[in-house]
A and B are shown apart, each in its own frame.
Chain A
Amino acid sequence: MRALVIVPAWNEERDLPAVLAELRRVAPEWDVCVVDDGSSDRTAAVAREGGARVLRLPMNLGIGGAVQTGYLWARERGYEIAAQIDGDGQHDPQYLEAALGPIRAGTADLVIGSRYIGAGGFRSTALRRTGARYLSWFLRLRCGARVTDPTSGFRVAGPRAIELFAASYPSDYPEPEAIALAARGGLRVEEFPVVMRERRHGSSSIGPVRTVYYLIKVSLALLLLPAERRHKPEIAG
C-alpha cells in the first residue's frame, strides 16, 4: 500500500530537520510531504534538504487548510494511506506502523493517536485534559464517535478518509470537527495509544486563557455541523 506522511509546518525550521530525520530512520517506506503553510523562515528549504516533498502554500491558511492540502495531494497521487504528524517533534513516528494495522485489516478508516490510553508521556495541563474529556463526551453525544483524545493531531487515514478530507476539511481548530465529519460520513474511527513528547521549542498555539475560547468555539462547530457534506468548489485535477 502506498503511504504518505503529511507534516503541516509553519515556521518550523528549527524542529523540522529532526522530525524528517526520524521519519527516514523509523518509517523509511513512507513518502513524506511537508506542507509549508506560508512560513517566513527557511521551512521549505529545510524540508527539501530533509528529503521531503514540499507543498508550499502562497499564504498562511492555518492548520486546517494546510492539512487539507496534504490530503488533496494524497488523493491526487493515489495514496491509499495518509498520516498526519506535527512538524514540531511532538509525535513519534515509530507509532505509524502500529496505527496502520486496523486500516490494513479493513476495520477502520481513520485511526487517531491518543495520549490518554496507555501510559506515560506528555499529557498537557489539567485544564486541557478536562477539556479533552469534555470534547470526547460531546463527540460521542453528537455523532457517536468514541475517541479519548479528540484534539490529537496524530492520525492515520485510509482511502475513504482521504477522499472525505480532500473534499471537505474544517478550517480553524479542525481536529475534533474532522472526527465528527468522519463519523457522520459513516467512517469507522479508532484509536491507538501513543506517548507524546513535549515540544522542544515554542509554546502551544493554544494558551491557557484561550483554552476556554477553544472549547466554546469547537462545541459550536460540533453543534452546527454542516447539514450535508460541505460543497466546496471542486477543481478538476
Chain B
Amino acid sequence: MTHPLLPLELQIAACAMLIVFFGWVLYLVRFQRLSLRDSLLWLLSTGAVLVFALFPGLLQSLARALAVQVPSNALFALGIVYLTLNVLSLTIALANASTHTRRLAQECALLRVEIAEVRSEVRSRDGAAS
C-alpha cells in the first residue's frame, strides 16, 4: 500500500516509532508511573496519528476537505493541535497538583501546632503524675 505521499520506508519508520511510543505510555501506566486518566489523551492522540501513518490517503482527503494545498501542511497543523492539547492537559494536571500541595502545606502547619499542643499536654500530665 505504498502511497505517493509517504514512501514505504518512511511509513514503516513512522509506524515503528509511534508503536514504540504507544507501548512506552502503556508501560508507564502498567507500572503506575502514569495514571490511566492522565495517559488517556496521549494514547488517543498517538492512536490517531498512527491511523494517519497507516493510511496516508486519509490525510490527503482531510487536507482536501480543509482546503489545505499541501497535505504535509495539514499534517503539521494536526501535529501542533496534538501537542497543544497535550500541553494544556499537562498544565491542568499541574494546576491541580499545586492546589493540592498548597492545601497539604496548610494542613501541615495546622498539624504542627496540634502536635506541639498534645506534646506539652502530655508533658504537663507526666509532670503532675510524678
Contacts and interface: CB of A to CB of B under 8 A. Distances in A.
A59 B110 CA distance: 14
A77 to B, nearest CB: 9
Contact of B110 (A55, A61, A171): A55
A6 to B, nearest CB: 12
A201 to B, nearest CB: 25
B93 to A, nearest CB: 14
Contacts of A76: 110
Interface stretch (A23-31, A67-75, A81-89): A67-75
A235 interface: yes
Given A233-B100, A235-B103, A73 B108 contact: no
Contact of B102 (A55, A56, A65, A73): A65
Interface core residue of B105, B108, B109 (most chain A CB under 10 Å):
B109
Given A55-B112, A65-B102, A232-B103, 18 more contacts: A35-B109, A54-B113, A55-B113, A56-B109, A57-B108, A57-B109, A58-B108, A58-B109, A61-B102, A61-B106, A65-B105, A65-B106, A69-B110, A72-B106, A73-B110, A233-B99, A235-B103, A237-B107
Contacts, number: 42
A14 interface: no
A202 B54 CA distance: 64
Contacts of B100: 233
Interface residues of B, number: 12
A45 to B, nearest CB: 14
A171 B113 CA distance: 23
A76 to B, nearest CB: 6
Contacts of B108: 57-58
Contacts of B107: 235, 237
Nearest to A55: B109
Nearest to B100: A233
Contacts of A232: 99, 103
Interface in A116-164: none
B109 A171 contact: no
A199 interface: no
Contacts of A197: none
A53 B113 contact: yes
Contacts of A68: 106
B111 to A, nearest CB: 9
A229 to B, nearest CB: 14
A232 to B, nearest CB: 6
Interface in B52-110: 99-100, 102-103, 105-110
A34 to B, nearest CB: 11
A121 to B, nearest CB: 33
A53 B113 CA distance: 8
A57 B105 contact: yes
Contacts of A53: 113
Contacts of A61: 102, 105-106
Nearest to B104: A235
A73 B114 CA distance: 11
Contacts of B110: 55, 69, 72-73, 76, 237
